[in-house]
C-alpha cells in the first residue's frame, strides 16, 4: 500500500503526536507499505525507510515551535510521482489542505485523524470567541474523509456532537520496551531533585505551553513538605512558568529522550498532569509503562487510560484542591502506591504500537475496498 501522510508537525519536534506518528510510520514500513510524509521542513529527508517531503513554513505567532507550512505546487508534483493508494491527513489545518485537495481532484481515498483538541486550546490564548468558527472549519475538512480517527472515546463524542461523521477509534499505543520500571535510579532521582533524592519527587513531562495548565501544579508542590518538582520539556510558556514557580523547589530540566526519559519517569514518585485539553495523553501511558503513578485531571481522553484508585488517581479539574488531595493521598500510602505502580505497568502492557498500527492498516484496507466497490 502506498500511503501519503500529511501532518502539521513532525520530527525533529517532540510531542505526543510526533511520537505516535514515528511509531506508525515505522510499523507501516515494517508491514511492507510505502509511506511518504509531508510535513513542515525540519531538515530530515527520511525516517525508518519513509521519505519525508519537507515544506518550508513560518513560525506560528502564538506558538513559535510550530510552523505553518502552506500548500504549494511542488506537493502536487511529488504526489503525482508517488501515486498514493490512500491519503491520511493528520489534524487537517494548513498543510493538510493540500492532501484534501489532491484527494478530491484525483479521487484518492482520504482518511483523517484528530489528535489536538484545538477548540479547547483557544480559551488559553484569549481566542475563545472563535470556537464556533473553528468547529465549522474542522467539520468542513473532516467530513471529506472516508473515516475520521480519534484516539479516545471522549474525542469521538466531541466530534460527533459537532457534526463530524464516520468517527472511529484508533487505539492507544506505548513503547513498553523503552519505558520500564527497572530503569529507576538514584542518580536520575538526584538529578531531577537537584541533589535531594530523599525528598518527595513530582514530575511533569510535556510541552510547556498555556493549554497544559502547568501553573496549577504549584499549589500541589507547596502543599507537600520538602517536595521537589521536575518539569521535563520546553515550549513557549517556559519564561512565564519560570516566574510563576520562582521561589519553589522546581527544576526546569529541558528535553529528555529515550532511556533518560524512561529513567526520569521510573525514578519519580508521582506524575502530575493537570491538562484538560488532552485527546488522549500519550505521555500518561509512558509514565504508566515506567511504573510512575499518575495524578491527572478527569477530562478529555484521560479517563480512557487512568482508572481512579486502581492504576492512578483522577481529580475533578474544577476543584482547586482536587490535585492536592489526590497527590497527598498517593504519597502517604506506600503500599497503595506500589500497587498502583504495578497496575499501571500491567495496563500499559496491553497496548503495543504494533497492534495500534495493525488496526490502522485494517481501517486503510476497509477504505480502499469501499472505494473500489464504489468505483
> Per-residue pLDDT for 124 more than 60?
no
> Per-residue pLDDT for 64 more than 80?
no
> Per-residue pLDDT for 115 more than 70?
yes
Give the model's confidence band at 117: pLDDT under 50 very low, under 70 low, under 90 confident, else very high: low
pLDDT at position 134: 77
pLDDT at position 60: 74
Q: What is the pLDDT of residues 11-32, one digit of tens each?
A: 998 888 999 999 999 999 999 9
pLDDT at position 214: 97
Mean pLDDT of 204-219: 94
Q: For the chain, what percent of residues have pLDDT higher than 70?
A: 95
Lowest mean pLDDT among 52-66, 112-126, 152-166: 112-126
> Per-residue pLDDT for 156 more than 80?
yes
Does residue 173 contact residue 355 with C-beta atoms inside 8 Å?
A: yes
pLDDT at position 133: 79
Q: Which three cell numbers stand for residue 101?
A: 485537495
Residue 273 gets which letter from DSSP?
E
Does residue 11 contact residue 20 with C-beta atoms inside 8 Å?
A: no
pLDDT at position 99: 96
Give the model's confidence band at 282: pLDDT under 50 very low, under 70 low, under 90 confident, else very high: confident
Per-residue three-class SS string for 281-342: CHHHHHHHHCCCCEEEECCCCHHHCCCECCCEEEECCCCCCHHHHHHHHHHHCHHHHHHHHH
d(CA 302, CA 343): 16
Mean pLDDT of 338-365: 94
> Per-residue pLDDT for 58 more than 70?
yes
42: left (phi over 0), alpha (psi -120 to 50) or beta: alpha
Mean pLDDT of 194-214: 95
- pTM above threshold 0.85: no
CATH number for 2-173+352-374: choose from 3.40.50.300, 3.40.50.2000, 3.40.50.720, 3.30.1490.20: 3.40.50.2000
Q: Which three cell numbers stand for residue 235?
A: 515550549
Q: How far is CA 21 from the centre of its chain?
A: 10
Name the more confident of 153 and 203: 203
The fold of the 181-348 domain, in CATH, is: Rossmann fold (3.40.50)
Name the more confident of 278 and 92: 92
pLDDT at position 66: 75
pLDDT at position 279: 66
d(CA 87, CA 99): 7
Domain with CATH 3.40.50.2000 in the chain: 2-173+352-374, 181-348
d(CA 57, CA 31): 32
Amino acid at each position: 500500500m502506498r500511503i501519503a501522510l500529511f501532518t502539521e508537525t513532525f520530527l525533529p519536534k517532540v510531542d505526543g503526536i510526533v511520537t505516535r506518528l514515528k511509531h506508525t510510520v515505522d510499523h507501516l514500513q515494517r508491514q511492507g507499505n510505502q509511506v511518504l510524509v509531508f510535513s513542515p521542513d525540519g531538515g530530515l529527508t527520511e525516517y525508518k525507510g519513509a521519505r519525508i517531503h519537507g515544506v518550508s513554513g513560518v513560525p506560528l505567532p502564538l506558538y513559535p515551535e510550530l510552523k505553518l507550512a502552506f500548500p504549494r505546487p511542488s506537493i502536487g508534483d511529488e504526489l503525482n510521482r508517488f501515486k498514493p493508494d490512500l491519503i491520511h491527513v493528520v489534524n487537517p489545518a494548513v498543510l493538510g489542505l493540500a492532501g484534501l485537495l489532491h484527494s478530491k481532484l484525483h479521487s484518492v481515498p482520504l482518511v483523517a485523524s484528530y489528535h489536538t483538541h484545538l477548540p479547547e486550546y483557544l480559551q488559553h490564548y484569549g481566542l475563545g470567541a472563535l470556537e464556533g468558527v473553528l468547529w465549522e472549519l474542522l467539520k468542513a475538512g473532516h467530513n471529506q474523509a472516508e473515516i475520521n480517527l480519534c484516539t479516545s472515546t471522549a474525542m469521538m463524542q466531541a466530534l460527533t456532537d459537532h457534526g463530524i461523521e464516520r468517527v472511529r477509534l484508533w487505539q492507544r499505543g506505548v513503547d513498553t520496551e523503552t519505558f520500564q520500571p527497572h530503569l529507576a535510579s538514584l542518580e536520575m532521582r538526584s538529578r531531577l531533585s537537584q541533589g535531594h533524592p530523599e525528598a518527595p519527587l513530582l514530575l511533569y513531562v510535556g510541552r510547556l505551553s498555556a493549554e497544559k495548565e502547568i501553573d496549577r501544579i504549584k499549589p500541589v508542590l507547596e502543599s507537600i513538605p520538602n517536595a521537589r518538582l521536575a518539569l521535563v520539556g520546553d515550549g513557549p510558556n517556559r519564561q512565564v512558568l519560570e516566574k510563576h514557580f520562582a521561589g519553589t523547589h522546581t527544576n526546569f530540566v529541558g528535553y529528555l529522550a529515550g532511556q533518560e526519559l524512561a529513567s526520569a519517569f521510573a525514578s519519580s514518585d508521582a506524575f502530575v498532569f493537570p491538562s484538560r485539553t488532552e485527546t488522549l495523553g500519550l505521555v500518561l501511558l509512558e509514565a504508566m509503562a515506567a511504573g510512575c503513578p499518575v495524578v491527572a485531571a478527569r477530562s478529555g481522553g484521560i479517563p480512557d487510560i487512568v482508572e481512579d484508585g486502581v492504576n492512578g488517581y483522577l481529580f475533578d479539574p474544577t476543584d482547586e484542591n482536587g490535585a492536592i488531595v489526590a497527590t497527598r493521598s498517593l504519597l502517604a500510602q506506600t503500599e497503595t502506591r506500589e500497587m498502583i505502580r504495578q497496575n499501571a505497568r500491567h495496563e500499559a502492557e496491553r497496548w503495543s504500537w504494533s497492534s495500534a498500527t495493525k488496526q490502522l492498516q485494517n481501517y486503510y484496507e476497509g477504505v480502499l475496498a469501499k472505494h473500489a466497490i464504489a468505483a
